[in-house]
Amino acid sequence: MKLLSDTLARVKPSPTIAVTNKAADLKAAGADVIGLGAGEPDFDTPQHIKDAGIAAIHAGKTKYTAVDGIIELKQAICAKFKRDNTLEYTTDQVTVSSGGKQVLYNALIATLNEGDEVIIPAPYWVSYPDMVLLAGGTPVVAQASVQTNYKLTADQLEAAITPNTKWFIFNSPSNPTGAGYSWEELKELTDVLLRHPHVWVMSDDMYEHLAYDDFRFCTPAEVEPQLYERTLTTNGVSKAYAMTGWRIGYAAGPKELIGAMRKVQSQSTSNPCSISQWAAVEALNGSHDFIAQNNKAFVRRRNLAVKMLNDAAGITCPVPEGAFYVYPSISGVIGKTTPKGTKLNTDEDFATALLEETGVAVVFGAAFGLSPNFRVSYATSDKALKEACLRIQSFCASLD
């Protein structure tokens, strides 16, 4: 009898994590590698949040907690939704998990039956389609294009909906493009959803606070209150609070769904780390001043990356509204050959050759469902980012 399940055979390991690991291995082996692969801030977790974690340890808050989070954190989450998104939730409409990933996974496992379709706008974050497959559903990719700055249009959403659609996954600002939907752009999508009452909305708001220039973040249940009853609004502390390793994600939505997600978690991991939960209470309730500070650095790096990548031969890079990614198109380099003789037929060839020949680690576009592109995470020092972009420029100039 074969060891592995048929379900597992349908999915692949996370490419973002694979690139991050490969870059780390090469670095450990002494190679001169600049990692622009990992989607995590290079900033340290703010001191007051760390102190809350340390205080939790000293106070002995190191035991099991309620399966889907302590009441203090749920209260902080309700206050956050009210403060930032004008959304009213009670604590029994809130769930907390070990990172945003587990929140999404719980929701999909709790709701998908065979044949259920999940609409995922591309470019998408790598894990959405594979999570849907693991949960037994069918991912339906709705392709956005560079012409609309990688944002899905109402017509494209309408065309993707069928009687089998269970969820529409929405992510703004987006991983991997950084594209952020304005209120008007999102309203066009929510108007479509109003016409299809069987479709639920899963909004991944992980990059909410990483919004730049005059872009104002908004979320579906806020833009269209009639969708409140069928929207799961998810978020987490990883990106804005530089807390990726603490693993705290959360969501709010209808009680029945939240209860079903709790049931999944009760039979898998139980509560997220108790210490991290207390740190997350402080993150949500405490001072947010550092976010504006961090965002200044992110804007500076975004501008640097966009300018330098647009100056590279064969690369076109739109200016994104948020997150810490840019998603340049490389149609101008496809078909060319590297100095070491590698023909670049795909964006995966480009990313592999770039790493091997220049030591710059990026994630190839096919992993995110739109090619030929690559994703740069600019959540790294200005110095490293500049050096990486210089290497990309000279790599592109050297192609034949």
- Nearer Cβ to ligand GLU (125/170): 125
Alpha-carbon gap, residue 178 to 146, rounded angstroms: 12
| Sign of the alpha-carbon dihedral angle for 295, 297, 303, 309 | negative
DSSP 58: H
Q: Are 16 and 363 in contact (CB under 8 A)?
A: yes
Q: By CB under 6 A, tell whether 234 contacts ligand GLU.
A: no
Question: Which one of 93, 102, 171, 175 is in contact with ligand GLU (CB under 6 A)?
Answer: 175
Of 126 and 355, which CB lies nearer to ligand GLU in the complex structure?
126
Query: CA separation (Å) from 107 to 45, 172, 208, 231, 384?
Result: 28, 19, 20, 11, 38
38 binds ligand GLU per the rule CB under 6 A? yes
From the list 44-52, 119-127, 132-140, 381-389, the region that binds ligand GLU by CB under 6 A is: 119-127
End-to-end CA distance of the chain: 50
Is the Cβ–Cβ distance between 110 and 90 less than 8 Å? no
* 14-43 CB burial, b ≥16 within 10 A, e <16: bbbeebbebbeebeeeeeebbbbbbbbbbe
Query: Looking only at residues 266 through 285 of this chain, which bind ligand GLU when binding is defined by CB under 6 A?
Result: none
Nearer residue to ligand GLU within complex by CB, 74 or 247:
247
Least Å from the CB of residue 315 to ligand GLU: 21
223, 219, 269: which is closest to 96 by C-alpha? 269
Minimal distance, residue 375 CB to ligand GLU, in Å: 8
**Closer residue to ligand GLU (CB): 127 or 274:** 127
* 55 touches ligand GLU by CB under 6 A: no
Nearer to ligand GLU, 56 or 135 (CB): 135
- Does 16 sit near ligand GLU (CB under 6 A)? yes
142 lies in the site for ligand GLU, by CB under 6 A: no
Could you tell me which stretch among 120-128, 133-141, 263-271, 347-355 binds ligand GLU (CB under 6 A)?
120-128
CB of 20 to ligand GLU, least distance (A): 7
Residues 96 to 115 in contact with ligand GLU, rule: CB under 6 A? 101
CA dist 55 and 275 (Å) reads: 9
Give the residue with the Cβ less far from ligand GLU, 186 or 323: 323
**Tokens found for residue 110:** 């709790």
Residue 17 sits in the site that holds ligand GLU (CB under 6 A):
yes
Please report whether residue 14 would count as binding ligand GLU according to CB under 6 A.
yes
Residues 299-338 binding ligand GLU (CB under 6 A) are none
Residues 143/145/42/298 CA torsion (nearest 10 deg): -140
DSSP 181: -
Pick from 34, 35, 36, 39: which binds ligand GLU (CB under 6 A)? 39
Comparing CB distances to ligand GLU, the nearer of 153 and 175 is 175
Residue of closest CB approach to ligand GLU = 39
Structure tokens at 201: 């909305």
Distance CA 200, CA 193 (A): 8
Where along the sequence are the contacts to ligand GLU (CB under 6 A)? 14, 16-17, 38-39, 101, 125-127, 175
